[in-house]
Structure 1
Amino acid sequence: MRFRTLNDIAEICKRESLTISELMIAEQAKETGQPEEDIVRQMAGYYGVMKEAVRKGLEGDTRSSSGLTGGDGRRVNEYASSMEPSVGDWAGKAMAYALSVSEVNASMGRIVATPTAGSCGILPGVFVSSQERFGWEDEKLTAGLFAAGAIGYVIANNSFISGAEGGCQAEVGSAIGMAAGALVELRGGTPEQAVHAVGLALKNTLGLICDPVAGLVEVPCIVRNGLGAVNALAAADMALAGVRSVIPSDEVIGVMLEIGTKMPMEHRETALGGLAQTPTGRKLTEQVKAGNGASAGRPG
Structure 2
Amino acid sequence: MSIVLHPDIKLGEVKLKVSDLPRSIRFYEDIVGLTLLAREEKTASLGVDGSAPLLVLEEVRDAVILPRRSASGLYHFAILVPTRKALGLALRNLIASGIHIGQADHLVSEALYIEDPDHNGIEIYRDRPRNEWPREANGQVKMASDPIDWDGLLKEAEGSDWEGLPAGTVIGHVHFHVGDLAAAKAYYCDTVGFEIATDGWRQMGALFIAAGGYHHHIGLNLWSGQGAPAAPANAAGLAYFTLVLTGAEELERVTAALREAGVPVEARDGACFATDSSGITMRLVTA
Specify if TM > 0.5.
no
Taking CA–CA contacts closer than 8 Å with sequence separation of 6 or more, which of the two structures ends up with the larger relative contact order? 2
Hey, which of these two has a bigger chunk of strand by percent? 2
